[in-house]
Amino acid sequence: MSSASQIKVLVYSDDVHVRQQVILALGRRPHPDLPEVQYVEVATEPVVIQNMDSGQIALAILDGEAVPAGGMGIAKQLKDEIFECPPLLVLTGRPQDAWLATWSRADAAVPHPLDPIQLAEAVVGLLRARVPADA
């Protein structure tokens, strides 16, 4: 993981607007108890894998609607292949798709259209479990 003053959050989507929505919704510091976030924007599956293999990512937010590689398939692959995989949050196409996120072994799911409060609550919950309180 990165330095105590910053944590890296990967945001994957083939759509730059989705990536920007996520980053704007969360801001630089999603919660006062957490360190500042450094976002790693990714538009392709190979770059997601490369970044996740680096061991520097504290949380990955994966767009389940991305093409050609959807976030749910990538989530399943990451959970299968990375020992002690960081938490994964999948953005689903609709609330009814939450069961697919469960299949992908994602740690949380938030549906489109993105609700900034729901997204922040999910992200903060996942990061609190990962980042020490005194970070």
* CB 89 within 8 Å of CB 109: yes
User: How many whole angstroms separate alpha carbon 100 and alpha carbon 123?
Assistant: 19
User: How many whole angstroms separate alpha carbon 41 and alpha carbon 100?
Assistant: 24
Spell out the residues 6+ positions from residue 112 whose beta carbon is closer than 8 angstroms to its own: 65, 91, 92, 93, 94
* CB 72 within 8 Å of CB 101: yes
Amino acid 131: pLDDT: 66
pTM of the model: 0.92
Angle among Cα 99, 67, 43 to the nearest 5 degrees reads 110
Provide the residue-wise pLDDT of the chain in tens; the chain has 135 residues. 444 589 999 999 999 999 999 999 999 999 999 999 999 999 999 999 999 999 999 999 999 999 999 999 999 999 999 999 999 999 999 888 888 888 899 999 999 999 999 999 999 999 998 766 544
- What is 6-130's CATH number, 3.30.10.20, 3.40.50.300, 3.40.50.2300, 2.60.40.10? 3.40.50.2300
Q: Any idea where the domains of the chain sit in the sequence? A: 6-130
Amino acid 96: pLDDT: 83
